[in-house]
Structure 1
Amino acid sequence: MKRLYRWTLSLADHPYAMWALVIVAFAESSFFPIPPDLLMIPMIIARPNKAFLIAGLAMAASVTGGLLGYAIGALAFEQIGRPILEMLGKGDAALEFNTRFNDMGFWPVLIAGLTPFPYKVITIMSGWTGMPLGTFIVTSIIARGARFFLVAALLWKFGDPIRNFIERRLGLVLSLFVAALLGGFILVRYL
């Protein structure tokens, strides 16, 4: 895994880094274990004037790759989807979660798109459980856009000094934000 991590990171210096980002963001949404943030961060630090272009490409490729994950779940769960989820250690949880997944509406896609939770798990589950495709696409655009454009904006504004925060703590901050958002909705609903 460390070799795959270093290889992915090395793509940021490649002349075709934008294409590499598109491929990694696409693949990460359905089967690849390394998030595109690893490429985005050094690319944006090296070219801050292209920060939002880089984020836009990552978002578009990620949502498109999410459609592949959705198709895997809908059309080939047993052959492809289950082995991917089992490789990630999520196989048993997926079976249990299946019964409640669509009752939650867009929340699973939003949460996975924003937080460090593996987005590919949710894309596959969305197809497997038959989540409405429109809900999946719109929520994926919102979640992945928010995540990638937040990273881009922070790096564009603060540059390399914010890098450590993004790499180490952004997932926690976004997870806390989602928890607070969910808590707010629960309070409003039941109070």
Structure 2
Amino acid sequence: MKLFSRLYRLVMMWAVHRHAPVYLSMNSFVESIFWPVPVDVMLAPMALAKPDRAWHYAALATVFSVLGAAFGYLLGYAMWEPLVEPFIQAMGYQDKIAVARQWFDDWGIWVIFIASFTPIPYKVFTVTAGLLQMAFLPFILVSLIGRGLRFFLVSGLMVWGGVRMESRLIRYIDLLGWACVAAAVVAYLLLRP
């Protein structure tokens, strides 16, 4: 079944759309607050489709992601009880917030760097940082460094790999896609309560 190769072609069409930078910026902003779609899903194909604009796209993603993080921080800081907590409960994310609190206790500000650079859900930590009233300026600086490293790395890999990497990716995209789905199902079955 060639589902992932069709999706890849569709994403590559979106990546060259004239409004793609606006969509990337919007996705970067909301992904730092609540949106589940990672920025890399848009950034990588955009950088691959237009390598001369890759660094511009990485900068856009970084700036708007950190702006979203600041907004998420402010929501956690000022709107926890009336707005955020009911949303967390409705989504069943109480355990994620509890884990985030524990990680803050264990690692302090480094948890922001880890969450901003890795696939760990950054949004949980932006809101929790506000809830715990973490110092705002260090929060922003560490977020800027972590998000910048991640997005410039993604763009750099796309520029470096270029057409060679794309041809290999297209050849194996369906196999990789189904392998990821299988891994997610196995992880869910092993980790569910």
Taking structure 2 as the reference length, the TM-score comes to 0.73
Aligned sequence identity (%): 36
User: 1: CA distance between counterparts of 2:84 and 2:165?
Assistant: 36
Please tell me the root mean square deviation across aligned C-alpha atoms, in Å.
2.5
Partner of 1:108: 111
Higher relative contact order (Cα pairs below 8 Å, separated by 6+ residues):
2
Task: Select the residue among 134, 137, 152 that pairs with 1:134.
Answer: 137
Letter in structure 2 aligned against 1:67 = A
Residue 24, structure 1, aligned to residue 32, structure 2: no
Q: Structure 1: which 5+ residue stretches go unaligned?
A: 1-5, 169-191
Change in Cα spacing, 1:86 to 1:112, as seen in structure 2 (3 Å) is: farther
User: Is the 1:52–1:152 contact (alpha carbons within 8 Å) kept by the matching residues of 2?
Assistant: yes
C-alpha deviation, 1:81, in angstroms: 2.5
Letter in structure 2 aligned against 1:133 = F
Task: Select the residue among 95, 105, 121 that pairs with 2:98.
Answer: 95
Letter in structure 2 aligned against 1:126 = A
C-alpha deviation, 1:99, in angstroms: 5.8
Q: Deviations over 1:119-172 (max 9, x none)?
A: 1001001000011001100100110000000011111111154465xx97xxxx
Change in Cα spacing, 1:29 to 1:97, as seen in structure 2 (3 Å) is: closer
Q: Deviations over 1:28-83 (max 9, x none)?
A: 00011101111111111110011111000000000000001101110111333234
Letter in structure 1 aligned against 2:135 = P
User: 2: CA distance between counterparts of 1:84 and 1:147?
Assistant: 28
Q: How does 1:2-41 map to 2 (within 5 A)?
A: 9=11, 11-41=14-44
Partner of 1:66: 69
Taking structure 1 as the reference length, the TM-score comes to 0.74
Letter in structure 2 aligned against 1:75 = A
Partner of 2:84: 81
User: 2: CA distance between counterparts of 1:75 and 1:11?
Assistant: 37
User: 2: CA distance between counterparts of 1:54 and 1:85?
Assistant: 31
Task: Select the residue among 50, 55, 59 that pairs with 2:53.
Answer: 50
Q: Structure 2: which 5+ residue stretches go unaligned?
A: 1-6, 177-193
What is the aligned residue count?
Answer: 160
Change in Cα spacing, 1:126 to 1:55, as seen in structure 2 (3 Å) is: same
Larger Rg: 2
User: 2: CA distance between counterparts of 1:157 and 1:100?
Assistant: 35
Q: How does 1:164-175 map to 2 (within 5 A)?
A: 164=169
Task: Select the residue among 153, 156, 160 that pairs with 1:157.
Answer: 160
Q: What secondary structure, in the 3-state scheme, does the structure 2 residue paired with 1:80 have?
A: helix
Which runs of 4 or more aligned residues in structure 1 lie more than 6 Å from their structure 2 counterparts after TM superposition? none
Letter in structure 2 aligned against 1:155 = M
Letter in structure 2 aligned against 1:156 = V
